[in-house]
Structure 1
């Protein structure tokens, strides 16, 4: 009986350790910023201080639903946004926590403003001002039904 219990416990722990985490935009909004000077740009930028929850998820597989935005004419910058293009972060509706950079092996067939579910590995970015604070790498995505 004891061995059976330990086997079930081990199975549960293994499944929990590998399960992806479903994030919400509220999870991403739990962040604080301070201004930091970046000499290369001779300008101040918002420097993120990520929540403990997000720090603990770095490098893990997560999923998030939002609006797909392709804002780069070359299709090299793909974004998952809390809001559609007409009211996104770049238009003054929200802060940097309302947009996530998403990186795919190859560009998906999504259209701008499609509502999509994206799964990828979470990367937290504090120092590279040419990328978003939140980045999902090795992404896969689909349009939920």
Structure 2
């Protein structure tokens, strides 16, 4: 009996440790941001320094859950911005930092929704181009 109990406890502990979903936004938050003056743009911009954990994800397929930013001209297209937070709290609205949003380039057009969605795509981290967000999901698709 004791042997079965230990086996059951081991299985439960294993499931709770290894069975948890990857928390993409929590991992992507492991970045520091430094403001620097950009002479080309003529104002201060955020330059990220990514943790080793984030760097390891560059080029890997990941899943992120979040909300589509309702930019009128982008609705229904294959390009949109995904926020880890609802629109009222997103980075563009002053409630969070630039690590809470990602540019999404979808394989196919995705209809705009105000509901939370999950997307899967190949992560590209961006430390150099100030005209793009620091996280970019390429070849993305909706996950049901």
CA contact (8 A) 2:108 2:141 kept: no
Contact 1:23 1:62 in 2 (8 A): no
2:123 aligns with 122
Within the candidate set 76, 93, 96, 2:95 is matched to 93
State which drifts further: 81-90 or 46-55.
81-90
TM-score, normalised on structure 2? Answer: 0.76
- Kept after mapping to 1: 8 A contact 2:65/2:119: yes
Distance change in 2, residues 1:63/1:74 (3 Å): closer
1:27 and 2:27 correspond: yes
How many residues were matched structurally? 122
> TM-score, with normalisation over the residues of structure 1?
0.76
In the alignment, what sits opposite 1:109? Answer: 111
Q: What stretches of structure 1 move > 3 A for 4+ residues in a row?
A: 74-77
Q: Which runs of 5+ in 2 are unaligned?
A: 1-20
Q: Structure 1 pair 55/101, CA: closer, same or farther in 2 (3 Å)?
A: same
The CA deviation string for residues 51-89 of structure 1, in whole angstroms up to 9 with x for no partner, is 101101100111111112241514465111111112211
Distance 1:83 1:57 in 2: 21
Name the residue aligned to 1:132. Answer: 133
Match of 1:47, SS state, is: strand
Task: Answer with 74-83 or 94-103: which moved more.
Answer: 74-83
CA contact (8 A) 1:120 1:138 kept: yes
User: Are 1:43 and 2:24 counterparts?
Assistant: no
Q: Within 2, Cα distance between the matches of 1:116 and 1:22?
A: 16
**What does residue 61 of structure 2 align with?**
61
